[in-house]
Amino acid sequence: MSQLQQLQGPIDQAIFAEVLACIPKDWVKVRLDATVLSEGPGGTKMSIRLEALGQTGIGIVSDELQDKVRELFLVNAKFNTELQGIHYEYALDASDGRWTFDGEYDYP
């Protein structure tokens, strides 16, 4: 396992926990979309959105979720991966009560 993977794993877990804290309790799926808009001396500006995927209610992006997503982008920047966006989709498996995860990553 690479050093980046070792650092990113706990961040991804923290992002997942925070996503669950930000959505209505009856949601069984959610998509997190985050994109780097700009980077500079003032910090990393991002767009972060939680999609309901056809369910009712609103997912509210918390400050904690913003911080964890920013941390993910900053760790990737340290390793010069040029990561520009993430798309994480989580779904509750009704058969066993566990959440599944699928991730897509945007690079230039």
| 20-51 pLDDT, tens digit each | 999 999 999 999 999 999 887 877 889 999 99
Q: What does the alpha-carbon distance between residue 67 and residue 106 come to, in Å, rounded to a whole number?
A: 19
CATH classification at residue 65: 3.30.500
- Mean pLDDT across the stretch 58-75? 96
Containing structural domain, residue 100: 3-106
Query: What gap in Å lies between CA 52 and CA 41, rounded to an integer?
Result: 34
What is the structure's pLDDT at 17? 97
- Model confidence, pTM: 0.92
Neighbours of 26 (CB within 10 A): 8
For residue 84, what are the contacts with CB-CB under 8 A and spacing of at least 6? 35, 36, 106, 107, 108
What's the whole-number mean pLDDT along residues 66-77?
A: 95
- What confidence score (pLDDT) does residue 40 get? 77
Of residues 106 and 43, which shows the higher confidence score? 106
pLDDT exceeds 90 at position 66: yes
Tally of domains within the chain: 1
